[in-house]
Amino acid sequence: MDWLLLLGLLSLLIVGATASFYLHAFVTRIRQEFRAAQPDLRITNLSAMSSGNVLTIFPELENVGGGVAYDCLLHMGGWEGNFAVKKVYPRGPRYQKHVASIVLGPDAPIRAKLINNGYIRLRYLDRWGQKYDCWYQVTQVGTEETPLYNVQIDLEQPQLNEPHPTFWEMRKFLRTIPLYD
């Protein structure tokens, strides 16, 4: 009787270990497929041009992820305007870098007065309509020649707000037809 109980427990343990191994592999594969289909839009390069009292900043947007980013919007606090792109494709046949133009004249609030929390916000959606936000810190630097402030943008440490769907939502998203494709 003891051998029969021991054999039953051992077979249950083997079946449970095998099932948990395959379940873990399945969950990991779904998460990797979902991550590969997500866009990852970033400001990868930044250049500036100064002409008199006008400072023009040219952030370069690039999709370093695997999915297409939709309805992209770039906004800077203290700048009256925005830059929008309908679709930003990842590396491949349709890959392209987009360069925005942020013109900051002497009357722009970020150049005329001290702002406590300056930022550049990059907002975009993935193919399932989930919203992503990427925030870059902007600091103001005073100049000796004029009372206007220059800006410095920290591209090294962006703050990313991305959706965190559950495993079942990821699986549902991967099984559905994409919204915009």
| 112-128 residue pLDDT tens | 888 888 899 999 999 89
Query: For residue 1, is pLDDT > 80?
Result: no
- The residue-averaged pLDDT of 48-54 equals 87
For residue 170, pLDDT over 60 is answered with: yes
Domain boundaries 37-175, corresponding CATH code: 2.60.40
CA angle 142, 136, 55 (to 5 degrees): 40
Residue 178 has what pLDDT? 58
Interval 18-46 mean pLDDT: 92
Sorted by sequence, the CB contacts under 8 Å of residue 141 that are 6+ apart come out as 149, 150, 151, 152
Residue-level pLDDT at 29: 94
| pTM flag (> 0.75) | yes
Query: How many whole angstroms separate alpha carbon 96 and alpha carbon 99?
Result: 10
Domain ranges of the chain: 37-175
